A and B are shown apart, each in its own frame.
Chain A
């Protein structure tokens, strides 16, 4: 340390002080659009901007004349799936080699498959094998955001074993997996947190839903299944469940929807809980018009009166989610 203070030293220190203070002044006070400016006079810049995204249309254009809805009846899962899919032109129409496919089963509850509250693991297994072997899909992902513990729900519904056996991959939701989904045409969920991570890079989406009684809305089938892609405070949805389900019908345009009619939960839905409530059946419905499929399943699988169709189907039809009247678009193979 020099004991005397010379001019050079003085200038050096002044230069040092002015650089530090000048730099700090620029960062703190330069107008907000200047480079490196950190100014936030109103506080608006520090409000976090949620990362948003929109979903593409996953539908494929089909040759004219092919029915939109196929119904397969057979004693085996693979038989009824084949029949249903062949009626609408076969699975290879929908999934091409190299596609990354997302399957969305209903794994909402920690229940045995026998209770009919979730999608059958047998169907998932057969479907994944078809996608990987017949269609040569690059990857099949399986995702759902259950109501109960995700790890448990996938394990105890048997879906986990089925997916692993068939060669698919399960995506469990965690805190970082959600982003805000923008759905311009929706009424209530125009922007809502959606399970985003499994959707990255996906080219085809297939919904695989069980057919269940549902206390509030009447029935939970293909459209209601997309509830499981959303996060956030879903428990508010019940305040206007019909509008929500109608919104779901246009939120995502899946490549294909499959209704699993092997175990139909006839009452005490959507949780069930007693095997006596479950009606084992031999039907699978596959198609591209969810509204028509749900209407058909409501009448033919849940065996309810056609005049009591859930209100959300009419709302969904009005929003453009599909058409209730399935005549001339349906082909039944048994």
Chain B
């Protein structure tokens, strides 16, 4: 009696297609492949990203308006996104299915509605209130941002290792690079593996209990046009519809619309054909539309949201006083307070960076508030002159889209000057020519600025061994330095480089400027 063209099969095809699109976007986010692919679309249709950045900034950046498609879909059909499109939902469902060795009876018990499922609404409320105050933390739990971050910083390294061993370089995410590292990726991977492993304990624990996007879509699907209907006259109360219920949404009783992820499994499993997904028929069972949030829950979560922002901000890592010299943001980034209103920690910039200089921020640079936002670590790489990929993939405008012309301060941007990420300094007590009478100046050689922002005092000395050596002792011209960090990257004193860049002088902030004015050659004007 089962046909091939069941709704559940169509759903699986849809899930595979969307997961495939997601993985393709990760693969295509590479300097030689990107070529205009809209790799940020998943995050741009993510309604939670749009809503929370709307709350924090008051505006809708670039393509975030596409999320209206998701709004429309949800208002008409319920949480279709969760079980038909969301790549993380697909992974959860797959692993829940793979690990599930329980009997039918046990599964039915597992898939009953649990009171803890209201936790996600509290999480949503806390995150939205914090966003309205100016600290955007949805990225910690938003499924798309979480999955992309885990892919970009954790799984990509494993994947590339396997593909390199098998010589499938076309499938590698970062072909032609030596070892790529992502600082702190252990904890990103740990979170990802944990929420996957939780599926063994309870299927789709993350989706049912933690996911803030699911909560938002749940609240939007309270009055859908189409929904699951149960015909009470046909129903024998056998509970078989619970066997594979993905949302734990009580299809056996009064359906909880905010929990139902429209997986259609119950329709498949009903031996009496009592269930259907349709417009409201004349006879149907009542639903319990609103989630069980009481006023107490609401007030409690609201209070946590209210104290969240001052607590995070007074931590004193992201403010203009006491900011970390290591907090160097990608070119095109907006000033720090605005940045924290926009960055969703999706790690698309980190994924697309060809030199691996972009790293997830740890607690050292930005405290808990800036955790996993992008930061430049010039011990790992440097910011390439002719590259503005991170700014072009950023879905929320934390890194404003810039062109290479604007980055370098050429053409029409001449009067603004180049975008400065920070300023280089020379540590004379570690620099080989300064401290050890050994010729070097790699930093000056690789400096890409014309004329070079590193110049030298030249001196001929007799060293301890009696050899005459010419020492070129480097110093920085801060007016010319853009803080690209290649001097730090290439410095042979590799553990704590003698040439190093710190955040001061970055052009995104007035408060973090260094020079009163930028000197120029009067002949050039």
Contact = CB atoms under 8 A, between A and B. Distances in A.
Contacts of B444: 215-216
A194 to B, nearest CB: 14
Say whether chain A's binding surface is mostly helix, strand, loop, or mixed. Answer: loop
A274 B440 CA distance: 24
Contacts of B32: 151-152, 155, 160
A68 interface: no
B178 A268 contact: no
B426 to A, nearest CB: 15
B445 interface: yes
A273 B418 CA distance: 14
A321 to B, nearest CB: 22
A233 B31 contact: no
A157 to B, nearest CB: 10
A236 interface: yes
B447 interface: yes
Interface in A210-250: 214-216, 233, 235-236, 238-241
A305 interface: no
Given A173-B176, A174-B164, A238-B440, A109 B448 contact: yes
A156 B438 CA distance: 35
B452 A268 contact: yes
Interface in A142-166: 147-152, 155-156, 160
Contacts of A172: 169, 175-176
Contacts of A110: 384-387
A152 B354 contact: yes
A148 B438 contact: no
Nearest to A115: B450
Given A215-B441, A235-B490, A149 B31 contact: yes
Contacts, number: 107
A270 B448 CA distance: 9
A111 B354 contact: no
A111 B385 contact: yes
Interface size class of A (residues with CB under 8 A): 35 or more
A119 interface: no
B494 A233 contact: yes
B115 interface: no
B236 interface: no
Contact of B445 (A174, A215, A233): A215
Nearest to A171: B176
Nearest to B492: A235
Interface in B423-474: 432, 438-442, 444-452, 472
B441 A238 contact: yes
A109 B447 CA distance: 11
Contacts of A303: none
A202 to B, nearest CB: 18
A110 to B, nearest CB: 5
A172 B451 CA distance: 30
A24 B494 CA distance: 45
A175 interface: yes
Interface in B161-215: 164-165, 169, 175-179
Contact of B176 (A151, A215, A270): A151
B30 interface: yes
Nearest to B452: A268
Nearest to A109: B448
A147 B446 contact: yes
B452 A174 contact: no
Interface centre among A149, A160, A174 (most CB of B within 10 A): A149
Contact of B31 (A152, A216, A240, A272): A152
A149 B165 CA distance: 21
A50 to B, nearest CB: 16
B108 interface: no
Nearest to A108: B446
A183 interface: no
A176 interface: yes
Contact of B491 (A111, A147, A235): A235
A271 B448 contact: yes
A174 B472 contact: no
Nearest to A155: B32
Contacts of A176: 164-165
Interface of A: 109-112, 147-152, 155-156, 160, 172-176, 214-216, 233, 235-236, 238-241, 268, 270-274, 277
> Which 3 residue pairs spanning A and B have beta carbons closest together?
A172-B176, A273-B450, A149-B354
11 contacts: A109-B448, A148-B355, A149-B177, A172-B175, A175-B178, A215-B444, A216-B444, A235-B492, A236-B492, A238-B441, A238-B442
